Chain A
Amino acid sequence: MSTLLPAALGLLRQALLLAGIAVTVFLLIRIVPGDVVDAMALEGNLDDEAIAALRADLGLDAGALVQLRIWAGRALVGDFGDSLRFDRPAAELILAAAPTTIGLAALALAFGLALGIALATAAVLWPRSILPGLVEALNLWSIALPTFCVGLAAILVFSVWLGWLPVMGQWLSPVIILGIDIGGQIAKPLHEDLKETATAAHIRTARAKGLSPARIVLRHLLPNALTTVVALSGLILAGMIGGALTMEVLFGLPGLGTLAYQAISGRDYPVIQAVVLVFAAGVVVVNWLADVAQRALDPRQRA
């Protein structure tokens, strides 16, 4: 009970946030001078009559509030309207693009977590080696080098100069680049956390009992650090969505980022709204899950 109530309240708060975002984005996009029909009229020559007919057909002639009410009613049942460009439901486009983005995020997170946890653990086990320095270096790397730049540099080096990888449509570079970024963000706080826990009483007891260092780290230190990892993962995953978006466009992967980019350059309102909402929902859900998981893992936070 004590865990359910805060979780439910948190969920309600997040749902309100999402509704607020939906309305804001809807209105924001409509204050823009020039809609999709204008863009189309510039590309192919439409006369005034055809323009009016097209607007009426797409429902763009009604007032913004009327459009909002109609759109919100449909969005609640998962109907985000049709793409103005592709003549397909926006929801369909999103469903088609989502696996790429989710796959990219999941692979990058898995690689980053493995790298960060392995490095931080090894650095605690061998504090006099080069490893703690490597933790710092990796952390500096992820703070100092934006994934956008590293991605461009990787294209120049591995695709243009060495010719090892194709520029477009490959997953290796984006996963490794995002993964290293995540690993750098996780390794340092985790390393600090592990070093601090290493001085705790139960670790001293375990050491006095004669347990091997590896066993102490795996059985006693790491479970304690799990909350740190979960909390960080939530934040990193939410922050990485922006990075994944850039990577997709850079490496030509057909995910939500590319869809958003195309929709924004084509003034495709229903798709822009749907994509922004899906991204925001993703951030909101990840934050909520991280919050719930943290509370479940750490009994001290339940009070």
Chain B
Amino acid sequence: MFARAMPAPRRAGGVGGVTLGLAILGCALLVALLGPSLVPHDPLAQELAARNAPPDALHWLGRDHLGRDVLARLAAGTRISLAVAAGATALALLLGAGLGLVAEALGRWPSFLVFGAFDMVRAMPSILLALTLMVALGIGIWPLILALGVAFAPHVALVARAAWRREQAAGYVAAARVMGAPRLATLWRHVLPNIAGALVTQAAIIMPRAITTESVLSFFGLGVSPETPSWGRMISGAARFAESAPHAVLAPVLALCLVTLGFALAGDRLRLALDPLREGGR
């Protein structure tokens, strides 16, 4: 179905694909920043008389099962879903790369312990791990960011370790060591800038997964609190009324698909090199 639009010899994520992906992500970012103030409806205001009303001139995407404006909720949800995913990705990078690299720099035993813990986390499907963590932490935006960050950290740690080991073989690390630079200082000043590219790639891989996992968790009733308008909460609330108001389910589902597609297209070049989640990380 894509093949007709994209001629066979060219890569699916060619220059056009990357541009399209960046455009989608740019729009999503704009909606997240400006959207809630542009839509003239309150995402939380209920109008029970207009439950499940189809789209009309005033409410472009219709109303949901409590008579709330779907477009306003979609805009507010974009902000929340993107913020949660960005927070979780930042935490995953910090935890994974930070802990992993420091442990690796400190020597054999710290590295063994930290990566043993990461291996444990990795042996659990990330959805199940996040579900368990959400049970322990309770629902809400901050617990959600924490749970997702922990669930995705091990993948970052593996990539960071692989990059670190590759850099270890490079002359400049040996030179810094010979000159008596402390290990952690070498890590910070010399190695980190060199592996930053690999970490950015990881961010582009983790971000869409965090968005999806957030939706699944909220759909299960364990993500953000019920009144918070995130995409997953919108889907779970409207799913029971899919027969009478399919528009209220379709809007957040399409938004989710569009953003993940945007990341896939834009991240295609980045992803080529390192993806332990898909290509076998060890």
Interface residues of chain A, those whose CB is within 8 Å of chain B, are 17-18, 20-21, 24-25, 28-29, 31-32, 128-134, 136-137, 139-141, 143-146, 148-149, 152-153, 155-156, 160-161, 185, 189, 231-232, 235, 238-239, 241-242, 245-246, 249, 260-261, 264-265, 267, 272, 276, 279-280, 283-284, 287
Contacts and interface: CB of A to CB of B under 8 A. Distances in A.
Interface of B: 1-3, 6-9, 11-13, 116-117, 119-120, 123-128, 131-133, 135-136, 138, 208, 212, 215-216, 219-222, 235, 239, 242-243, 246, 249-250, 253, 256-257, 260-261, 263-265, 271, 277-280
6 contacts: A137-B6, A144-B260, A153-B257, A161-B246, A261-B131, A279-B128
Nearest to A19: B120
A149 B253 CA distance: 6
Pairs of residues from A and B, 5 with the lowest C-beta to C-beta distance, nearest first: A242-B125, A136-B12, A144-B264, A137-B2, A133-B3
Contact of B120 (A24, A31, A242): A24
Contact of A260 (B131, B243, B257, B261): B131
Main SS of chain A's interface residues? helix
Contacts of A132: 8-9
Nearest to B281: A235
B3 A143 contact: no
Given A283-B123, A287-B123, 18 more contacts: A17-B119, A17-B120, A18-B123, A20-B120, A25-B132, A28-B136, A29-B132, A29-B136, A32-B136, A140-B264, A141-B2, A144-B261, A152-B253, A155-B242, A156-B250, A264-B131, A272-B132, A283-B125
A21 B125 contact: no
Contact of B127 (A149, A155, A156, A242): A242
B222 A264 contact: yes
A148 B212 contact: yes
A291 to B, nearest CB: 10
Nearest to A246: B216
Given A140-B12, A160-B242, A284 B123 contact: yes
Contacts of A267: 135
Contacts of B125: 238-239, 241-242, 245, 279, 283
Contacts of A28: 132-133, 136
A217 to B, nearest CB: 19
A189 B279 contact: yes
Contacts of B280: 231-232, 235
A29 B220 CA distance: 18
B21 to A, nearest CB: 9
B144 to A, nearest CB: 15
B11 A136 contact: yes
B12 A152 contact: no
